[in-house]
Amino acid sequence: MSQITVRPALDPRVPRLTRIALLVFACLLISACSLLGKGTRDPFTIYDIDPRVAAEPAWPQVDWQLMLPRVDASRVGDSLRIAVRPTANELQIYKGARWARVPTDMIESAILRTMEDSGRIQSVARQGAGISAEYKLLLELRRFEAVYTVAGMPPTVQIEINAKLLHTAKQQVAASRTFLQQVPATSTAIGDVVEAFDQGLHTVTGEVVGWVLVSGNQDAQAR
Mean pLDDT, residues 171-192 taken together: 97
Provide the percentage of residues in the chain whose pLDDT is more than 70: 82
Taking only Cα atoms into account, the Rg of the chain, rounded to an integer number of angstroms, comes to 23
Residue 171 has pLDDT above 60, yes or no: yes
Q: What is the pTM of this model?
A: 0.80
- The Cα 159–Cα 17 span in angstroms is 53
- The pLDDT tens digits for 1-16 are 332 333 334 344 434 4
Strands (E), the chain: 45-47, 65-68, 72-73, 81-87, 90-99, 123-126, 135-147, 156-167, 172-184
Spatial CB neighbours of 42, under 8 Å, sequence gap ≥ 6? 95, 96
Spatial CB neighbours of 60, under 8 Å, sequence gap ≥ 6? 120, 213, 214, 217
| Average pLDDT taken over every residue of the chain | 84
Give 150's DSSP letter.
S
Structural domains for the chain = 1-41 (no CATH), 44-222 (3.40.50.10610)
- The Cα 84–Cα 92 span in angstroms is 5
Mean pLDDT, residues 45-62 taken together: 96
